[in-house]
């Protein structure tokens, strides 16, 4: 029999909605902020709490399933994709937004089986909680925003008519900063219609699925930031690939999402990457 993960998807959606209450309640309060990989890579007790709640609820219901969670990895767990059903969790994507009350923060949950580093996830859920926007997609069954079907923009070739979303990222070393700013410089010089950044990779990428943006690219984010939105973009008719033009690899720390292969290829010709350690490198 073919596996159907619809029950897991429904469970994930309900759990995400319930757990978002914790983020919304904490949003307006003062937070205790700790640093991770850099001065701009932040974590709060709410990130930790939300990840713990999500994982224990999923584990109660599906005891054999495995996890890759942002804060568990930060605490020393390794990123290992096996053939087991695996939930890839970012409890708060946009932690710096959360700390500053900039209103784009999301819970991002992807689900994959059989080591699908490159192939699409089985499903993805991105809940932008302050906006109350629930994005989700299931492999082969389309992408939705609050129940309405999503379609990428259909922009095929003309990159000068594109709105491109990207992220500044949390890196603060000279090579990362000069690469990031010169990528934006080269895009604006084409010129594209605009460059945008919301402060959460997951929600940024969902803009490509809505057609509000034609492309998104990012270097340096992690698998949990983009796994869920990658299937949302694909199911909305868009494409995902590596910034060097090779097939999408959620562990590579590089991604382009676009309305079409032509637009993605064009972006890959314009931008450069700085070196990042793979998420699954030990
Ligand atoms: C971050 C956000 C941000 C991106 C960083 C990510 P986090 O995730 O997605 O937009 O620029 O690279 O690390 O830490 O808030 O989950």
Q: Is residue 101 part of a domain?
A: yes
Q: Identify whether residues 86 and 185 lie together within a single domain.
A: no
Q: Is residue 65 part of a domain?
A: yes
Alpha-carbon span 175 to 173, nearest angstrom: 6
Alpha-carbon span 255 to 221, nearest angstrom: 9
Q: Is residue 280 part of a domain?
A: no
Final residue of a domain: which of 95, 124, 149?
149
Q: Identify whether residues 119 and 188 lie together within a single domain.
A: no
CATH of the domain at 199: 3.40.190.80
> Is any atom of ligand 1 closer than 6 Å to the C-beta of 167?
yes
Alpha-carbon span 181 to 83, nearest angstrom: 39
Q: Identify whether residues 141 and 169 lie together within a single domain.
A: no
Q: Identify whether residues 180 and 135 lie together within a single domain.
A: no
Q: Identify whether residues 37 and 97 lie together within a single domain.
A: yes
Q: Identify whether residues 136 and 166 lie together within a single domain.
A: no
224 CA → ligand 1 middle, Å: 9
Average pLDDT over residues 56-81: 94
Q: Is residue 223 part of a domain?
A: yes
Instruction: Collect all residues with Cβ–Cβ distance below 8 Å to 75 and sequence separation of at least 6.
Output: none
Q: Is residue 84 part of a domain?
A: yes
How much is the mean pLDDT over the chain?
95
Q: Sort strands 42-44 and 33-35 into parallel, antiparallel or unpaired.
A: antiparallel
ipTM greater than cut 0.90:
yes
Q: Identify whether residues 163 and 228 lie together within a single domain.
A: yes
Q: Identify whether residues 68 and 124 lie together within a single domain.
A: yes
Q: Identify whether residues 81 and 36 lie together within a single domain.
A: yes
Q: Identify whether residues 177 and 204 lie together within a single domain.
A: yes
Q: Give the residue, by CA position, lying nearest to ligand 1 atom 16.
A: 93
Q: Identify whether residues 188 and 135 lie together within a single domain.
A: no
Q: Which domain holds residue 170?
A: 159-270
Average pLDDT over residues 165-181: 97
Q: Is residue 130 part of a domain?
A: yes
Tens-digit pLDDT profile for residues 185-205: 999 999 999 999 999 999 999
> Is any atom of ligand 1 closer than 6 Å to the C-beta of 90?
yes
Q: Give the residue, by CA position, lying nearest to ligand 1 atom 4.
A: 169
262 CA → ligand 1 middle, Å: 27
Residue numbering of the annotated binding site for Mg(2+): 70, 90, 92-93, 225
Q: Identify whether residues 171 and 207 lie together within a single domain.
A: yes
Tens-digit pLDDT profile for residues 73-110: 999 999 988 889 999 999 999 999 999 999 999 999 99
């Amino acid at each position: 029999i073919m596996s159907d993960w619809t029950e897991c998807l429904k469970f994930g959606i309900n759990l995400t909605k319930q757990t978002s209450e914790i983020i919304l309640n904490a949003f307006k309060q003062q937070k205790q902020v700790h640093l991770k990989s850099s001065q701009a890579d932040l974590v709060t007790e709410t990130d930790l709490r939300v990840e713990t709640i999500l994982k224990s609820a999923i584990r109660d219901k599906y005891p054999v399933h495995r996890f890759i969670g942002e804060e568990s990895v930060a605490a020393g767990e390794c990123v290992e994709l096996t053939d087991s059903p695996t939930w890839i969790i970012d409890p708060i994507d946009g932690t710096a937004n959360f700390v500053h009350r900039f209103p784009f923060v999301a819970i991002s949950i992807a689900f994959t089986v059989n080591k699908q580093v490159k192939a699409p996830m089985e499903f993805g859920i991105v809940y932008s909680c302050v906006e109350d926007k629930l994005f989700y997609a299931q492999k082969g069954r389309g992408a939705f925003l609050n129940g309405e079907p999503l379609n990428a923009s259909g922009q095929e070739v003309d990159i000068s008519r594109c709105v491109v979303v990207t992220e500044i990222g949390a890196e603060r070393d000279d090579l990362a900063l000069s690469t990031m700013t010169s990528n934006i410089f080269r895009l604006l010089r084409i010129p594209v219609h605009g460059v945008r950044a919301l402060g959460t990779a997951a929600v940024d990428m969902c803009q490509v699925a809505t057609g509000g943006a034609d492309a998104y690219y990012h270097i340096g984010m992690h698998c949990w930031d983009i796994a869920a939105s990658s299937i949302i973009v694909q199911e909305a008719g868009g494409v995902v690939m590596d910034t060097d033009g090779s097939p999408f690899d959620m562990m590579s720390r590089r991604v382009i999402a676009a309305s079409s292969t032509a637009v993605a290829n064009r972006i890959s010709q314009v931008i450069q990457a700085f070196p990042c350690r793979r998420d699954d490198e030990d």
